[in-house]
Amino acid sequence: MPLFLKPVLHEKIWGGTKLKSLGYDLPAENIGEAWGISAHSNGKCEVLNGPYKGQTLDMVWENHRELFGDFPSQEFPLMTKIVDAKEALSIHVHPDDAYAYENENGQYGKSECWYIIDAEEDAEIIYGVNADSKDIAVNQINETDYANLFNKVKVKPGEFYFIPAGTVHSIGAGVLVYETMQSSDVTYRVYDFGREEIAHHSRGLDQAKAKDVIEVTQENINIATDTEIIENHKRIQLVSNDFFTMVKWEISGTLNYMKPREFVLVSVLKGAGQVIVDGDIYDVTQGQNFILTSDDLDTIFEGNYELIISYL
């Protein structure tokens, strides 16, 4: 039986109301994030069905590891969320595993990836810095030379970006993003448009740690995706690396799906249909998130809808 999860909604100073378009009932006008699949202490998703109904995902992970192939990790390793940036996020950076373990009480570092669901005309992201070396980037931060430091990239719906730990980044105003990431909430803000004062210092900068972890790379940031047609369904592999694999499926009709790992994370981005697991039928619609566990052996996706599936 798949684990359907209740998203955790977070108010943000930069958030808006676009998550309504995905079927979420918003309690405020500034909801910036919906954590769709999370066992993190800052946002534990509740199971909505089956024998574990009412339990949070971290509880199921802790007490029923067999559902996840007995994966040898103390913490649930992945997280998915949707981000609605009515205004730009702070410009920030995340540490890698080694730095976070040593400096953030043993937490995961944070590499992540973005699928652009929607973007207003001329919307942009920040990806990386305009500097040839880390020393130059750190010097520009010291001199508050922000106008020249950050690399701005125009974005469009359907694009995909991988953001490894150490990459300075931000989502700009008017962008709606689906994220898969390591299960971490460690963020070091480099610049916040003065909002650390507006928020009475509750969003303070952390430039010292940011300067420790910044990496300067010249990688191709908009990753070329690998697309194939399987039984009339479009399968787009967005990324596969040491942290996660992320695949977008465009379902049209009936797909017999074989899990590539013991458990996979599934989010419905658009449309509606059914998922049939070991003969049991579950209706699904956009905005829903669930996990196919080790117990889910025979899976069929049926209908017309778009999924993102993530796994280790």
159 is in an annotated binding site: no
For this structure, is 65 an active site residue? no
**CA nearest 284: which of 261, 267, 260, 262?**
267
Q: Which residues contact 209 (CB under 8 A, 6 or more apart)?
A: 95, 103, 188
Catalytic residue among 189, 195, 235, 261: 189
How far apart CA 22 and CA 19 sit, in angstroms, is 5
Q: Which residues contact 9 (CB under 8 A, 6 or more apart)?
A: 19, 24, 26, 27, 31, 33, 34, 35
**CA nearest 84: which of 217, 164, 170, 173?**
173
B/e letters for 109-142, b = 16+ CB within 10 Å, e = fewer, are: bbbbbbbbbbbeeebbbbbbbebeebeebbebbe
How many alpha carbons fall within 13 Å on the CB side of residue 126?
25
Instruction: Report residue 236 CA to chain centroid gap.
Output: 17
Would you say 143 and 207 are in contact if contact means Cβ atoms under 8 Å apart?
no
94 is in an annotated binding site: yes
Residue 93 tokens read as 């950076």
Q: Could you list the active site residues?
A: 189
Known binding-site residues equal 94, 112, 169
Known binding-site residues for Zn(2+) equal 94, 112, 169
